[in-house]
Chain A
């Protein structure tokens, strides 16, 4: 009761401090979610999938014939050729990932992409067919049967696809912003215009029987093509995704640092508030101690007030993180295909608020507990 009443003793001070914590905790949550979104691809990857690419660079393709040789490596279950398409939908602003895939093999490797049987069949039987994720389809208002024109940048020309299906994710970690079409369609078209670029895959996705054998299978695949004109680099899908994250690691480190700096700043603000609060009440603390309350009780009063304020404000901050994240994701379009506030982020937000509350109260509580009763009573006079 005393803690609750004290909290609202200086309403403006309490409201402004709480507002600061709300903003800090929400900002912390959004920044952490951005970092999570960066790692979403890696986190959603399967340990049963490997990626084989050119050991020189991802921009150098591999011969399609490699698929057969990879398939013969012990431990390999299936292989699918994949090419990054990099097309433009209407304007350059409409960015979303587009992949040419060997559809049956590829989709069999990704059971987390949920596609209706009828739509799957329609996609498989239409050479110019394509499928898109639900988020992407919703963003552009696409419906099954729509014609989607893409202007090729890597593969010049205007490409026209018929949307045959819209896939959902098995859970919210699955990217629903990707556009897939048939690798054969890409290959045949390219071969007609640029015969020397035909039968080339950007990379191969490899499904293995035992995820525990990923390292040895990767070595075997790469050994198969050692000393050839196009040597390979095979790694787990997670390592492959993390290699993209590593390219922007400096930005990620900066975002993470800023997220912690925000918490440190609000910790300093809160500590100042609690120090002022405690200083004003030394007389009251001395009175409480005089009538028999312990030093620990007095320290507990300050700590409970500080932690209570931090957690109450954090609850509001966490609550507004969700709509803020949704608005941010909408504003970013398909830049962050997977963008959601994770349970871990909420736990970190609560943890940060708790630390702010405890640290802010530490010194004032210690001082109030140690203040001599006669000195505190003199403060009243």
Chain B
């Protein structure tokens, strides 16, 4: 049996509000194999976004272990986690989260500024990513000059530009119409099928979830299936 890319054991997360302890995730175990495409589904407040944030290393659990590609990210310091995310995680957000003052090219190039690549190498990589998401002719356009679908394509290009081990997507089609959502999901399919990227996606949309290899349901912080 191969070692999963993501291995979660006994994961719990709770928030404290005054003297109240609010559990969000309770003693959760989950494995995600390398090259898998997992959809996290569940009602609002079920803990799916929290689980995604923990896997991506942008939040800390209350207890438990999260191993990603053999690294226990729970034990990493803030600085180590930032470096780890830069090298291993690509983010796709519901509202794209692009820098409004940077062009599509500049936004996609951002993660590469954390690498030692030369300017020429960065340009080549960005050009490849732009071609992959079909936005070569929009390289110099700013986010406010792009449609929602095009902005999400830019965000996808930014997510894969540093060739991460894992891509996390939080409601990537939540702000898009059905047709555009289909295009974005098609793009995620390609990343998974052709580039072998492991994707963990949070979604409310059953149509979107159908694209995943596996659907994980969360209910009140525990796995429902």
B102–A294 CB distance below 8 A = no
A381–B95 CB distance below 8 A = yes
A380–B101 CB distance below 8 A = no
A292–B94 CB distance below 8 A = no
Known contacts: A1-B106, A381-B95. The answer to whether A290 contacts B101 by CB under 8 A is no
From the candidates A284, A292, A295, A380, name the one contacting B85 in the complex (CB within 8 A): A292
Cβ contacts under 8 Å, B94 to chain A: 381
From the candidates B97, B100, B106, B111, name the one contacting A377 in the complex (CB within 8 A): B97
| B contact residues, range | 20 to 34
A6–B58 CB distance below 8 A = no
Known contacts: A5-B102, A373-B59, A374-B59. The answer to whether A294 contacts B97 by CB under 8 A is no
| 8 Å CB interface, B8-64 against A | 53, 56, 58-59
Task: Report the nearest A residue to B115, measured CB to CB.
Answer: A292
Cβ contacts under 8 Å, A294 to chain B: 79, 82
Known contacts: A5-B101, A380-B93. The answer to whether A292 contacts B87 by CB under 8 A is yes
| 8 Å CB interface, B87-135 against A | 87, 91, 93-95, 97, 99-102, 106, 110-111, 114
Cβ contacts under 8 Å, B82 to chain A: 289, 292-295
CB distance from B11 to the nearest CB of A (A): 16
In the bound assembly, the distance between CA atoms of A374 and B106 in angstroms comes to: 24
Task: Report the nearest A residue to B174, measured CB to CB.
Answer: A381
B205 interface residue per 8 A CB criterion? no
CB distance from B150 to the nearest CB of A (A): 18
Cβ contacts under 8 Å, A5 to chain B: 101-102
CB distance from B96 to the nearest CB of A (A): 9
B97–A380 CB distance below 8 A = yes
A292–B83 CB distance below 8 A = yes
Cβ contacts under 8 Å, A287 to chain B: 91, 93, 97, 99
B101–A6 CB distance below 8 A = yes
CB distance from A377 to the nearest CB of B (A): 7
B86 interface residue per 8 A CB criterion? yes
B158 interface residue per 8 A CB criterion? yes
CB distance from B111 to the nearest CB of A (A): 5
Cβ contacts under 8 Å, B58 to chain A: 289-290, 373-374, 377
A291–B95 CB distance below 8 A = no
Cβ contacts under 8 Å, B86 to chain A: 291-293
A290–B56 CB distance below 8 A = yes
In the bound assembly, the distance between CA atoms of A318 and B87 in angstroms comes to: 46
B99–A2 CB distance below 8 A = yes
In the bound assembly, the distance between CA atoms of A372 and B53 in angstroms comes to: 12
B101–A9 CB distance below 8 A = yes
A283 interface residue per 8 A CB criterion? yes
B193 interface residue per 8 A CB criterion? no
A374–B101 CB distance below 8 A = no
From the candidates B59, B79, B85, B101, name the one contacting A291 in the complex (CB within 8 A): B85
CB distance from B194 to the nearest CB of A (A): 23
In the bound assembly, the distance between CA atoms of A288 and B97 in angstroms comes to: 9
Cβ contacts under 8 Å, A288 to chain B: 99, 110
A292–B79 CB distance below 8 A = no
| 8 Å CB interface, A345-381 against B | 372-374, 377, 380-381
Cβ contacts under 8 Å, B59 to chain A: 372-374
B183 interface residue per 8 A CB criterion? no
In the bound assembly, the distance between CA atoms of A292 and B82 in angstroms comes to: 4
B72 interface residue per 8 A CB criterion? no
B97–A284 CB distance below 8 A = yes
Binding site for A on B (CB under 8 A): 53, 56, 58-59, 78-79, 82-83, 85-87, 91, 93-95, 97, 99-102, 106, 110-111, 114, 158
Q: Which 8 A-B pairs have the closest CB atoms?
A: A292-B86, A5-B101, A373-B58, A287-B97, A292-B85, A374-B59, A292-B114, A291-B111
Other A-B pairs beyond A5-B101, A373-B58, 20, CB < 8 Å: A1-B106, A2-B99, A2-B102, A9-B100, A9-B101, A287-B99, A291-B85, A291-B86, A291-B91, A291-B110, A292-B83, A292-B114, A295-B82, A373-B53, A373-B59, A374-B59, A377-B58, A377-B97, A380-B93, A381-B95
A-B contact pairs, 19 of them (CB 8 A): A9-B101, A283-B97, A284-B99, A287-B91, A287-B93, A287-B99, A288-B99, A288-B110, A289-B58, A292-B111, A293-B114, A294-B79, A294-B82, A295-B78, A295-B82, A373-B58, A374-B53, A380-B93, A381-B95
